[in-house]
Amino acid sequence: MTKRVYIKTYGCQMNVYDSARMADVLAPLGFAVAESLEDADMVVLNTCHIREKAAEKVYSELGRLNRLKRRRRASGGEFLIAVAGCVAQAEGEEMRRRAPFVDIVCGPQAYHRLPELIERAKSDPARGAFDTEFPVESKFDHLPEAASPQGVSAFLSVQEGCDKFCTFCVVPYTRGAELSRPVAAVLAEARRLVGHGAREITLLGQNVNAYHGAAPGESAGGGTGWGLGRLVRALAAIEGLRRIRYTTSHPLDMDDELIAAHRDVPALMPFLHLPVQSGSDAVLARMNRRHDADAYRRVVGRLRAARPDLALSSDFIVGFPGESDADFAATLRLVEDVFYAQAFSFKYSPRPGTPAAEMPDQVPEVVKAERLAELQALLKRQQDRFNRAAVGQTMPVLFDRPGRSAGQLAGRSPWLQPVHVDADARDMGTMRDVRILAAHANSLAGELASQATAVASVPDAAEPERVPA
Ligand code: SAH
Ligand code: SF4
Ligand code: F3S
């Protein structure tokens, strides 16, 4: 009998990718993916630990799952609860106390061991199976080939973990040391994704531009490996792959080779998420970001010189310990100088075990809230301006989803803006020229340009130049 697993994903794109890979691991055990909790025999929460709110969500969800499990057991059924992801890694032991009904706890580097953990949990239900040790080798050496279809726009993790140790961040503790997958494994997975219909691939890593994967034919750990720029060039040669993106990058790892790829590789999209966190040098130093605000401005300048229509996005933290009004004003200045097409901003959330949580001069909640509102208003004005500038332009849109209503498709502009268009369902997976008619809060609306061409004949060089300002 087929069993069903419901996988609920929190947090970043790496978790989205990992959830698909967990489905790949569970498929040989007879698990199909369930569309809802109601018809699931097992649930996996793939969790996020980045801010307190994200972690707390998991415990409230677990309360609901415990009630469901009791009802199932009462009627003689089975129901396994597994917690994966960054909360599992960070709080495995605490979870055993706070939620003893959890059957399996599995950290982000141990997904290939899920079959064994399920066995263990079933044979000793009272104790369950907790596995949050970082294995010496990478999960990528053990996972089955990625098989879960991802559609037109696919994620591909090429790098995992982080050695940067920003003082606010849990990632180095939850994901472990920085590690790059070998070039050959990445290219093989990319070809399979394209074979399954992917036309856009987003390369993922907590620190993706630190990528240094073993070159083809080189043993892992031997040699210096390929950087991300070289990897992007090799991926661009895959026939059928139209668009390449990558996220998330650190300003320090933006090397010449990668910047040159932005100049030379038309498939590399002109949109870059390059988090700066703060515009104050004093705050950046206490965050251990290891660059100042002007170094960031210079990197952005070099990127824009290479690709003049590049649009930028960032993450910001307001209310980091010791952040003064002058520090915050420096962040607003940086935003004014750079101009962001889009951005995420957060109130600083002290995370247990990170250095910043112990720093003096924690900023009061009300101050954090005021600063966040002010920063978000500025970012919103920039985003609106960027989206309005698209109206009247014609740009290639890759249709990757059904639209809001029948007869509509949705896709992305080169600058990652969602675009809604009246189009035939058969156009799904194609890239078409679209004339932008209107800009809404978070999306654009357009119509197919008269000379719309199918994927194969859209010349990349025809993508419009667009300076955001
Ligand atoms: N590797 C990426 C960030 C990954 S975490 C980078 O280097 O930028 C995603 C974002 O969450 C971060 O960019 C940061 O803005 C935010 N974040 C991380 N820890 C946080 C904390 N303790 N409080 C508030 N926001 C945080
Ligand atoms: Fe966290 Fe990113 Fe800093 Fe690494 S570089 S510690 S993932 S914020
Ligand atoms: Fe969250 Fe872990 Fe990603 S903490 S942001 S799920 S790396």
- Distance in angstroms (rounded) separating the CA atoms of residues 214 and 220: 5
For residues 204 and 92, membership in a common domain is answered with no
Among 333, 361, 388, give the residue marking a domain's end.
388
- Distance in angstroms (rounded) separating the CA atoms of residues 22 and 296: 37
- pLDDT tens digit sequence for 422-441: 999 999 999 999 999 999 98
Mean pLDDT (whole number) for 110-132: 88
pLDDT at 452 over 80: no
| Mean of per-residue pLDDT scores for the chain | 92
Q: Which of 253, 150, 157, 261 minimizes the C-alpha distance to 200?
A: 150
Local confidence band at 145 (pLDDT 50, 70, 90 cut-offs): confident
For residues 370 and 304, membership in a common domain is answered with yes
For residues 213 and 362, membership in a common domain is answered with yes
- pLDDT tens digit sequence for 244-298: 999 999 999 999 999 999 999 999 999 999 999 999 999 999 999 999 999 999 9
Query: Are 270 and 413 spatial neighbours (Cβ–Cβ below 8 Å)?
Result: no
Q: Coil, strand, or helix at residue 8?
A: strand
Of 173, 207, 351, which is best to mutate to test ligand 2, by the most ligand atoms within 8 angstroms of its C-beta?
207
Strands 431-439 and 394-402 turn out to be antiparallel
Counting the structural domains of the chain, the total is 3
Model pLDDT, residue 136: 62
For residues 404 and 441, membership in a common domain is answered with yes
Local confidence band at 450 (pLDDT 50, 70, 90 cut-offs): low
- pLDDT tens digit sequence for 228-239: 999 999 999 999
For residues 8 and 76, membership in a common domain is answered with yes
User: Which residue minimizes the CA distance to atom 7 of ligand 3?
Assistant: 171
pLDDT at 451 over 80: no
Among 131, 161, 184, give the residue marking a domain's end.
131
Among 131, 162, 192, give the residue marking a domain's end.
131
The more confidently predicted of residues 81 and 136 is 81
CB under 6 Å to ligand 2: residues?
162, 164-166, 169, 171-172, 206-207, 250
Range of the domain at 440: 390-469
pLDDT at 467 over 80: no
Model pLDDT, residue 405: 87
CA of 164 to the centre of ligand 2 (A): 6
349 close to ligand 3 (CB < 6 Angstrom): no
Ligand that comes closest to the CA of residue 50: 3
| Percent with pLDDT over 70 in the chain | 94
Model pLDDT, residue 459: 40
86 close to ligand 3 (CB < 6 Angstrom): yes
Model pLDDT, residue 208: 98
- H/E element, 381: helix 365-388
DSSP letters for 84-136: EHHHHHHHHHHHHHH-TT--EEE-TT-GGGHHHHHHHHHH-TTT-EEE-PPPS
For residues 63 and 175, membership in a common domain is answered with no
Kindly provide the b/e burial profile for residues 350-373, where b requires at least 16 CB atoms within 10 angstroms of the residue's own CB. ebeebbbeeeeebbeeeebeebbe
For residues 161 and 176, membership in a common domain is answered with yes
User: Which residue minimizes the CA distance to atom 6 of ligand 3?
Assistant: 48
Of 346, 365, 376, which is best to mutate to test ligand 1, by the most ligand atoms within 8 angstroms of its C-beta?
346
Ligand that comes closest to the CA of residue 277: 1
Encoded tokens for 340: 């962001």
For residues 169 and 23, membership in a common domain is answered with no
Give CA separation, 337 vs 294, 311, 374, 408, in Å: 11, 13, 16, 37
19 close to ligand 3 (CB < 6 Angstrom): no
Q: Which of 109, 200, 213 minimizes the C-alpha distance to 155?
A: 200
Q: Which atom of ligand 3 is nearest to the CA of 46?
A: 6
For residues 63 and 186, membership in a common domain is answered with no
Of 48, 164, 169, 318, which is best to mutate to test ligand 1, by the most ligand atoms within 8 angstroms of its C-beta?
169
Ligand that comes closest to the CA of residue 314: 1
Model pLDDT, residue 127: 80
For residues 322 and 452, membership in a common domain is answered with no
243 close to ligand 3 (CB < 6 Angstrom): no
CATH at residue 228 = 3.80.30.20
User: Which residue minimizes the CA distance to atom 10 of ligand 1?
Assistant: 315
Local confidence band at 111 (pLDDT 50, 70, 90 cut-offs): very high
- Distance in angstroms (rounded) separating the CA atoms of residues 162 and 177: 5
Model pLDDT, residue 139: 85
- pLDDT tens digit sequence for 366-398: 999 999 999 999 999 999 999 999 999 999 999
User: Which residue minimizes the CA distance to atom 5 of ligand 2?
Assistant: 164
pLDDT at 174 over 70: yes
Mean pLDDT (whole number) for 332-358: 98
Of 13, 171, 249, which is best to mutate to test ligand 2, by the most ligand atoms within 8 angstroms of its C-beta?
171
175 close to ligand 3 (CB < 6 Angstrom): yes
CATH at residue 127 = 3.40.50.12160
CA of 351 to the centre of ligand 3 (A): 13
| Residue 325 exposed, middle or buried by CB count within 10 Å (0-12, 13-18, 19+) | exposed
201 close to ligand 3 (CB < 6 Angstrom): no
Q: What is the C-alpha R_g of the chain?
A: 23
The more confidently predicted of residues 1 and 268 is 268
CATH at residue 402 = 2.40.50.140
Model pLDDT, residue 96: 84
Encoded tokens for 265: 């590789």
Whether omega for the bond prior to residue 248 falls within 30 degrees of 0, making it cis, is yes
Model pLDDT, residue 201: 98
Model pLDDT, residue 462: 38
User: 91: phi > 0 → left, psi -120 to 50 → alpha, else beta; which?
Assistant: alpha
Q: Which of 395, 442, 454 minimizes the C-alpha distance to 418?
A: 442
Model pLDDT, residue 457: 38
- Distance in angstroms (rounded) separating the CA atoms of residues 249 and 119: 38
For residues 377 and 394, membership in a common domain is answered with no
Model pLDDT, residue 221: 64
3-state per-residue secondary structure call for 163-198? CCCCCCCCHHHHHCCCEECCHHHHHHHHHHHHHCCC
User: Which residue minimizes the CA distance to atom 1 of ligand 1?
Assistant: 206
Q: What's the predicted TM-score (pTM) here?
A: 0.94
For residues 384 and 244, membership in a common domain is answered with yes
| Residue 53 exposed, middle or buried by CB count within 10 Å (0-12, 13-18, 19+) | exposed
Mean pLDDT (whole number) for 331-352: 98
Encoded tokens for 167: 């003082």
